[in-house]
Structure formats: C-alpha cells, structure tokens
Amino acid sequence: MGTVRRPAAWLALLAGLLTGCDVSARSADVTVSGHGSSGAAESAGTVGAAGSACALPVTFDIAVGWKAEAVDGLGAVASGGPDGDLAGSLLRQGPVTLVCEIDAKPAGAIGFLRVSTGKPGGGDARAVLRAFVAAEDGAGRARYRTFTAGGLAGVRVDYVQTGKLLGESKKESALAVVTPQGPVVLHLGGLDSAEHDEMLPAFELAQDTLRIR
C-alpha cells in the first residue's frame, strides 16, 4: 500500500490529541512480568514488513478489525518551509516521529495505536521512552516496566494524561525498543480511560509479537 498524505487539518487535530497541560506527578520504575489486563486480542495479521501498510524496523501483529495506514509527514519535513516545520512539530514527539497509525474505529473503539521511529544513536529504550513521555504535555503518574519479546528487550510505560481544555485525565500506554535502524515507540491513546482499557489487549498483542524485521 502507498503512504497516506495527511492534510493540514488532520495535523491540527493531531496536535490537539498530543497536547494538554502539565500536571505534577512522580514517575516510578518497576520490573514486572505479565500485563495485568483481562482478555486477549485475536490477531488479524502482521504489520511492519515490506509491502505491508507500514514498513517499519519491526513487525508485530494487529488485532482483528484494526486498520493500519502509513503517515507521510516526512516528505513535508524534508521539503523545508512553513509546511515542513508544521508537519515536523506535530508529528514529532521527543526523539521520534510518527510514521504509522493503526485505527481502532473499525473494531468499534475510539483510539489509535501509533508507531513512531527515530534515528540510530538516540539512547537506550528507557531513555527514548522517558523523552517521549516528557514531551507530552499533561503526562504524569508514569510507571515504567521492562519486557522481552522475540529477542528484543524493551521498556513499557503506563501513565495518565490530563487534557488542556477540560482538565480531564485518561490512561495511556507506550513502549519502546531499539533496533539497528533506530528506536521504535508504540503508543496507545484513546478517547478516555474506558476506551483505553478496551483497546489494551490490542496493544499487548503488539507488544508480545514484536520482532526485528
């Protein structure tokens, strides 16, 4: 499949989803096994390989009903100028840039599993993930944990994001791994905490099936 070019209106919407207001909270590091969520998502296939909806440094399974689309913001960034600056600022979070969206709406939920990648040499998975969370306004109460999947050692974080407009808080999750091509971050964001909990098995399916391409 070809890449999907997003209009400026979509980029503005993305900015709203990625931003909020700061909250004061301490983060914690923990090492645990298992996920702590109920249920398991059924796989509908793999994304990340050449020829799939999103070509990535890793592959992983997506849940039934979820739809993957590539995000083509890198072309605008490379072209320079105002449009490139806007695309870069809205698609970038910390050391990584959004390259793929996996939409939960076809499966009946409101949210996305978003995949971002970065350049090699940006630090280990924990450093990448901490920088990713730090770049999200309103992120707090972060709990970090390590995991392994397919020979990859990664770090996962579960945190709370407080919105700017209404001041409402919702759960979010992300994970990071480092590959020879650079870091990869998977981020799960939904409309609210109830949607997050409904989508969490799909996120954990992706985590459990991560493999280097």
| pTM score of the predicted model | 0.76
pLDDT in single tens digits along all 213 residues of the chain? 434 434 433 343 344 433 333 333 334 444 433 444 547 888 889 999 999 999 999 999 999 999 999 998 654 444 444 444 555 678 999 999 999 999 999 999 999 999 999 999 878 999 999 999 999 888 898 999 999 998 899 999 999 998 877 778 999 999 999 999 999 999 999 889 999 999 999 999 999 999 998
Residue 98 phi, psi dihedral angles, 5° rounding: -65, 130
CA 199/CA 162 separation, integer angstroms: 19
Q: Is the dihedral angle over the CA atoms 183, 111, 157, 44 positive or is it negative?
A: negative
Domains of the chain in start order, with CATH, are 8-212 (3.40.1000.10)
What are 38's two structure tokens?
């109920």
Q: In a 10 Å sphere around its CB, with 0-12 CB exposed, 13-18 middle and 19+ buried, how is residue 202 labelled?
A: buried
